[in-house]
Amino acid sequence: MAGTCGTMSRVHTLPVQAASATYNVLLDDGLLADLPQHLRAIFGHQPRRYFVVTSPEIWALWSDAFLSGFASDAEPPILLLPAGEQHKRLAALERLAQQLAAAGADRSSVLIAFGGGVIGDMTGFLAAIYMRGIDFIQVPTTLLAQVDSSVGGKTGLNLATGKNLIGSFHHPRLVLADTAVLSTLPLAELRAGLFESLKAGLIYDSELFTYIEQHAEALLRQETEPLTCVIAKSVHIKADVVSQDEREAGLRMILNFGHTVGHAIESLTHYRGPLHGEAVGWGMRVAVEASRMRGLPDAEADRILAAIDALGLPQLPRLTARRLLNAAAGDKKRIGGVRHFVLLERIGQAKVVNDLTDEELLHAIQRGLRLSRTAAGK
Domain membership flag for residue 8: no
Of 140, 157, 184, the last residue of a domain is 184
User: Which segment of 5-14, 70-79, 286-295 scores lowest on mean pLDDT?
Assistant: 5-14
Q: Given a cut of 90, is residue 378 above it in pLDDT?
A: no
Tell me what the mean pLDDT of segment 70-84 comes to. Answer: 93
CA distances from residue 8 to 1, 12, 236, 237, 329 in whole angstroms, order as listed:
11, 12, 12, 14, 41
Do the domain assignments include residue 6?
A: no
* Marked catalytic residue, from 276, 332, 339, 367: 276
- Give me the phi and psi of 39, to 5 degrees please: -65, -40
Q: Which of 85, 189, 196, 266 is catalytic?
A: 196
Q: Does residue 148 lie in a domain region?
A: yes
Half-sphere exposure of 370 (CA within 13 A, CB side): 8
Q: Is 38 a catalytic residue?
A: no
Annotated catalytic, 24?
A: no
Give the 3-state DSSP-derived string for 14-40, with helices as H, strands as E and coil as C. EEEECCCCEEEEEEECCCHHHHHHHHH
- pLDDT bucket at 46, cuts 50 / 70 / 90: confident
What 3-state DSSP class applies to 61?
helix
Same domain, 169 and 277: no
Same domain assignment for residues 364 and 304: yes
What span, in angstroms and rounded, lies between the C-alpha atoms of 346 and 3? 19
Domain presence at residue 364: yes
**Is position 94 annotated as part of the catalytic site?**
no
In a domain, 1, yes or no: no
- Respond yes or no: is residue 326 known to be catalytic: no
Domain boundary among 134, 157, 184: 184
Same domain, 324 and 223: yes
Summarize pLDDT for 320-373 with one digit per residue, the tens.
999 999 999 866 555 556 789 999 999 999 999 999 999 999 999 999 998 644
CB atoms within 10 A of CB 68: 12
CATH of the domain at 281: 1.20.1090.10
Stronger pLDDT, 373 or 67, i.e. the higher one: 67
Q: Is residue 145 in some structural domain?
A: yes
Whether residues 334 and 234 fall in one domain: yes
- Annotated active-site residue in 87, 236, 252, 332: 252
End residue of a domain, out of 149, 184, 219: 184
Q: Is 176 left (phi over 0), alpha (psi -120 to 50) or beta?
A: beta
Burial (CB < 10 A; 0-12, 13-18, 19+), residue 357, is: exposed
Residue 356: Cβ-neighbour burial (10 angstroms; 0-12, 13-18, 19+)? buried
Catalytic residue (choose from 132, 318, 373, 378):
132
Is there a catalytic annotation at residue 363?
A: no
Are 49 and 165 part of one and the same domain?
Answer: yes
Separation CA 183–CA 193 (nearest Å) = 14
Residues near 348 by beta carbon (within 8 Å), at least 6 away in sequence: 201, 202, 203, 204, 205, 206, 207, 209
Instruction: Say if CB 238 and CB 177 are below 8 A apart.
Output: no
Q: Is 45 annotated in the active site?
A: no
170 among known catalytic residues: no
CA distance readout (Å), 77 to 91, 104, 111, 233, 256: 21, 11, 10, 34, 35
Q: What is the pLDDT of residues 82-123, one digit of tens each?
A: 988 889 999 999 999 999 999 999 999 999 999 999 999 999
3-class DSSP state for residue 142?
Answer: coil
- Examine the pLDDT at 162 and tell me if it is beyond 90: no
Task: From the candidates 238, 285, 332, 339, give the one annotated as an active-site residue.
Answer: 238
Structural domain tally of the chain? 2
* Higher-pLDDT residue of 215, 318: 215
Is 252 among the residues known to form the active site?
yes
One-letter amino acid of 71: A
**248 catalytic residue (yes or no):** yes
Whether residue 247 is found in the same domain as residue 173: no
Exactly one of 12, 48, 95, 248 is catalytic; which is it?
A: 248
Residues 264 and 326 in one domain: yes
Residue 55 belongs to some domain of the structure: yes
Q: Domain limits at 115? A: 13-184
Residues 262 and 196 in one domain: yes
Query: Tens of pLDDT along 25-38?
Result: 999 999 999 999 99
Same domain (yes/no): 176, 237: no
CA distance 267 to 330: 10
Is 189 an active-site residue?
no
Task: CATH number of the domain at 22, please.
Answer: 3.40.50.1970
The single residue of 256, 266, 285, 292 carrying the catalytic annotation is 256
What pLDDT score was predicted for residue 377?
Answer: 44
Residue 359, pLDDT score: 95
Q: Are residues 135 and 192 in the same domain?
A: no
Amino acid at the residue 90: L
User: Are residues 20 and 159 part of one domain?
Assistant: yes
Helices (H), 130-175: 143-144
87, 173, 199, 259: the catalytic one is: 259
Q: Is residue 195 domain-shared with residue 338, that is, in the same domain?
A: yes
Q: Which of 208-217, 276-285, 286-295, 334-343 has the lowest mean pLDDT?
A: 334-343
Return d(Cα 206, Cα 345) in angstroms, integer.
12
